[in-house]
């Protein structure tokens, strides 16, 4: 069941983050401040998948992500300003729950939540994460370019910038 994320979910989210990181290397590094990671100042909405009291999935919508390069690409591709956009981020599902369409469910939740806020959805995805790219492409996101994301440990990782068309359209 997808439900609104709550502050009380933080302990379960810490466990989910550790398990996803161990399986996939996502996030790149486990943030030292998970409260700031999951509850950033520019948060628009967040949801979890709650399976009988166990958090097995998470997604959030924020205003900004990836630095000005990514946001400039999105702005040029969509003709929209930051206050008309929402970035889908912090998407993760428990390794034991994979193959059940949960990322797609979370992505569809995010698209609908952004639309309710009159915002268009976009995202950053590691350019080497072929399964994630395929999932987002199946949800009609398309690449509008790439950027290099620099993490706190100095690692530089190429990411695709992907944009979802307006609701009711299947192309940008």
Phi, psi (deg, nearest 5) at residue 49: -100, 120
Would you say the pTM of this structure is higher than 0.75? yes
Residue 113's SS3 state is helix
What is the distance between the alpha carbons of residues 117 and 85, in angstroms, rounded to a whole number? 9
Output the pLDDT for position 172: 38
Q: Identify the structural domains of the chain with CATH numbers, from first to last.
A: 2-163 (3.40.630.30)
Is residue 89's pLDDT more than 50? yes
Q: Could you tell me the pLDDT band of residue 169, with boundaries at 50, 70 and 90?
A: very low
The secondary structure of 57-90 as a DSSP string is EEEEEES--SHHHHHHHHHHHH---GGGEEEEEE
Q: Which residues, other chains included, contact 124 with Cβ-Cβ below 8 Å and sequence gap of 6+?
A: 65, 66, 70, 87, 89, 147, 149, 159, 160, 161, 162
101 touches 107 (CB < 8 A): no
Output the pLDDT for position 29: 84
Output the pLDDT for position 170: 44
How many CB atoms lie under 10 A from the CB of residue 34? 15
% of the chain at pLDDT higher than 90:
72
**Tokens standing for residue 77:** 């591709």
Is residue 55's pLDDT more than 50? yes
Q: Could you tell me the pLDDT band of residue 66, with boundaries at 50, 70 and 90?
A: low
Q: Please write the tens of the pLDDT for every residue from 2-18.
A: 999 999 999 999 999 99
Output the pLDDT for position 109: 96
Q: Please write the tens of the pLDDT for every residue from 133-164.
A: 999 999 999 999 999 988 878 888 899 999 99
What is the distance between the alpha carbons of residues 46 and 15, in angstroms, rounded to a whole number? 17
How many CB atoms lie under 10 A from the CB of residue 57? 23
Length of the chain: 172
Q: In what order do the strands lie in the sheet with 120-126?
A: 2-4, 43-51, 54-62, 85-93, 120-126, 156-163, 142-150
């Amino acid at each position: 069941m997808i439900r609104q994320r709550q502050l009380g979910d933080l302990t379960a989210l810490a466990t989910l983050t550790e398990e996803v990181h161990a399986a996939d290397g996502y996030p790149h590094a486990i943030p030292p401040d998970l409260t700031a990671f999951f509850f950033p100042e520019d948060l628009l909405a967040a949801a979890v998948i709650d399976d009988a009291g166990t958090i097995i999935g998470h997604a959030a919508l924020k205003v900004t992500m990836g630095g000005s390069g990514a946001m400039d690409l999105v702005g040029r591709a969509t003709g929209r300003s930051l206050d008309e956009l929402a970035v889908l981020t912090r998407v993760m599902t428990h390794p034991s729950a994979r193959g059940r369409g949960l990322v797609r469910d979370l992505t569809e939740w995010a698209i609908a939540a952004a639309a309710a806020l009159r915002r268009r959805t976009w995202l950053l995805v590691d350019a080497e994460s072929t399964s994630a790219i395929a999932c987002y492409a199946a949800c009609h996101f398309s690449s509008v370019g790439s950027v290099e994301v620099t993490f706190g440990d100095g690692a530089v990782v190429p990411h695709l910038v992907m944009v979802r068309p307006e609701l009711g359209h299947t192309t940008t």
